Amino acid sequence: MKHTVTLNADLPVGTISRHLYGHFAEHLGRCIYEGIWVGEDSPIPNTQGIRNDVLEALRQLSIPVLRWPGGCFADEYHWKDGVGPRESRKRMVNTHWGGVVENNHFGTHEFFTLCELLGTEPYICGNVGSGAVQEMQEWVEYMTFDGESPMANWRRENGRDKPWRLKYFGVGNENWGCGGNMRPEYYADEYRRYQTYVRNYGENRIYKIAGGPNVDDYKWTEVLMKEAGRHMDGLSLHYYTLPGGWDSKRPAIGFDEDEWFETMRKALDMDELITRHSAVMDRYDPDKRVGLIVDEWGTWFQVELGTNPGFLYQQNSLRDALVAALHFHVFHRHCDRVHMANIAQTVNVLQAMVLTEGSKMLLTPTYHVFEMFKVHQDAAALSLHTETETYRSGDQSMPQVSVSASKRENGLIHISLCNVHPGSEATVSLRLRGLAGTPAVSGRILTHADMNAHNTFERPDTLQPQAYDGYSDVSRDGLSVTLPPMSVAVLELRD
């Protein structure tokens, strides 16, 4: 078949912010506790309580920004319980996620340590649903004020002299649901009030993110932009790829082609959601000052059999890898309005990068896509035009091939390609414009013959990127690329 892509290598159309490759780690199941935090006395090798294997794996992803502590947890979290000597910290019940008791050993200081060890920017989500304005104000003062003040002095007593640099701050989470069941009009007013006290101390400048709509609730976006748009820097959007629906979630492993198809189709719905929310935002903010912050996205399947249903632990297969790649292509296309995206979640929850079991750890197929695609971070998005055949199921269809391309400051061009069809390879004629000469090409691919392929603790390397040379006829004007069924590839062109 004929799949044709025309790539204008000399035509940048925007910048793919590295923040599109952001993460989200919540106090949920075994994400923070066990997955990240094991404590300084743990037999699992750790650095200041944070497990070394996970740290090392995540460092390879160049994670640009990490959202914490929730999620729904954020609107029940009282930060003062999580600072000071660990042995005297108050315990709490994580009522939203499994009803487990947490010892609060991972708090503000530990989170900033994690960010420092990862070289990532912190993104903190504050408590609007059950917290007071004063509590939020004092948290910002505690973290960012350099002078003499009750909160800054308390931070010093707790071992941190200098304030941290904090840019991203969310004023509540899902305030239409777990964050307070508010109407948009009410939340818009609450947002205006709370954000007033999220102060810029000294040189620190906060980028304020308002709690955004649930999926396709365009009215929420309309009301927030109209009533509070000028008080925010970003508006969040949450959308999960959830085959079957909330009441009949499907298994993460052991699915058939119908479920494969439904999952890909639902992943691509992200494009329509961003387009339509952006159109509403454009009415109030035509210059696109306010970013759409997709701070929760990813697959949501049935929990793994025998695990706590409140822990949202699921396996991760080749299907998740394709979902991740499709999302990145959508985010790249909308990089003028989408300023940040955060996958849910980093470890052991939903579409995770790594899974742990005791001292064991494995890298998921999604991890490998994040690693392969990191070359796009902060690169210039290139103009391209794709003509592709459709992949059909019943009366529904979607493009079989998805492509995105970017150019780094050093001139390297990266082209990522996905073939979502489970039974048909795709030969793509890649026409190149704007190159000086015949490029040197290299590539990597993630693929498998089995759509259910995944990594286990016994066989952690079933799916991992391989060197890829499925291209031919390379010239200054183009090349031909053959993508196996169910594959994600990244080509590097050195002009």
- Annotated catalytic residues are 174, 296
Nearer to ligand AHR, 238 or 454 (CB): 238
- How far apart CA 331 and CA 373 sit, in angstroms, is 12
Q: How far is the CB of 415 from ligand AHR (least distance, A)?
A: 31
Number of Cβ atoms within 10 Å of the Cβ of 161: 8
User: Is the alpha carbon torsion for 313, 318, 320, 325 positive or negative?
Assistant: positive
Nearer to ligand AHR, 318 or 344 (CB): 344
* Segment 434 to 453, residues that bind ligand AHR, using CB under 6 A: none
Is 173 in contact with 125 (CB distance < 8 Å)? yes
Q: Does 34 bind ligand AHR (CB under 6 A)?
A: no
Q: How far is the CB of 37 from ligand AHR (least distance, A)?
A: 18
Q: How far is the CB of 123 from ligand AHR (least distance, A)?
A: 14
Burial of 148 (0-12, 13-18, 19+ CB in 10 A): exposed
Residues in the chain: 495
- How far apart CA 127 and CA 141 sit, in angstroms, is 15
Number of Cβ atoms within 10 Å of the Cβ of 366: 26
Parallel/antiparallel/unpaired status of strands 401-407 and 413-419: antiparallel
Stretch that binds ligand AHR, among 64-72, 268-276, 383-391, 432-440 (CB under 6 A): 64-72
Is 452 in contact with 254 (CB distance < 8 Å)? yes
Closest by alpha carbon to 344, among 390, 301, 298?
Answer: 298
Nearer to ligand AHR, 23 or 448 (CB): 23
Residue choice 70, 122, 212, 422 for contact with ligand AHR (CB under 6 A): 70
Residue choice 173, 299, 314, 351 for contact with ligand AHR (CB under 6 A): 173
Nearer to ligand AHR, 70 or 470 (CB): 70
* Segment 391 to 430, residues that bind ligand AHR, using CB under 6 A: none
Nearer to ligand AHR, 297 or 471 (CB): 297
Q: Does 72 bind ligand AHR (CB under 6 A)?
A: yes
Nearer to ligand AHR, 70 or 399 (CB): 70
- How far apart CA 142 and CA 164 sit, in angstroms, is 9
Q: Does 26 bind ligand AHR (CB under 6 A)?
A: yes
Q: How far is the CB of 173 from ligand AHR (least distance, A)?
A: 5
Q: Does 75 bind ligand AHR (CB under 6 A)?
A: no
How many amino acids of this chain bind ligand AHR (CB under 6 A)? 11
> Got the DSSP string for 17-48?
-GGGGEEE--SSTTSSBTTTB--TT-SS-EET
Q: Does 344 bind ligand AHR (CB under 6 A)?
A: yes
Backbone phi, psi, residue 357, to 5°: -145, 105
- How far apart CA 373 and CA 444 sit, in angstroms, is 10
The count of C-alpha atoms lying within 13 angstroms of the C-alpha of 81, restricted to the half-sphere facing its C-beta, is 11
Angle between helices 184-196 and 218-228 (to 10 degrees): 40
Q: How far is the CB of 345 from ligand AHR (least distance, A)?
A: 6
Closest-CB residue for ligand AHR?
71
* Segment 218 to 277, residues that bind ligand AHR, using CB under 6 A: 238
Nearer to ligand AHR, 352 or 380 (CB): 352
Q: How far is the CB of 24 from ligand AHR (least distance, A)?
A: 7
Q: Does 348 bind ligand AHR (CB under 6 A)?
A: no
Nearer to ligand AHR, 21 or 300 (CB): 300
Distances in Å between the alpha carbon of 208 and those of 73, 226, 287, 305?
19, 16, 18, 39
- How far apart CA 36 and CA 460 sit, in angstroms, is 19
Nearer to ligand AHR, 345 or 356 (CB): 345
Is 211 in contact with 175 (CB distance < 8 Å)? yes
Residue choice 121, 174, 190, 233 for contact with ligand AHR (CB under 6 A): 174
* DSSP label of 347: B
Q: How far is the CB of 295 from ligand AHR (least distance, A)?
A: 9
Closest by alpha carbon to 324, among 223, 402, 392, 440?
Answer: 402
Stretch that binds ligand AHR, among 38-46, 65-73, 257-265, 285-293 (CB under 6 A): 65-73
Residue choice 34, 190, 296, 378 for contact with ligand AHR (CB under 6 A): 296
Q: How far is the CB of 384 from ligand AHR (least distance, A)?
A: 32
- How far apart CA 303 and CA 28 sit, in angstroms, is 13
Q: Does 71 bind ligand AHR (CB under 6 A)?
A: yes
Q: How far is the CB of 310 from ligand AHR (least distance, A)?
A: 11
Stretch that binds ligand AHR, among 13-21, 52-60, 343-351, 462-470 (CB under 6 A): 343-351
Is 215 in contact with 191 (CB distance < 8 Å)? no
Backbone phi, psi, residue 206, to 5°: -95, 135
Enumerate binding residues for ligand AHR (CB under 6 A): 26, 70-72, 173-174, 238, 296, 344-345, 350
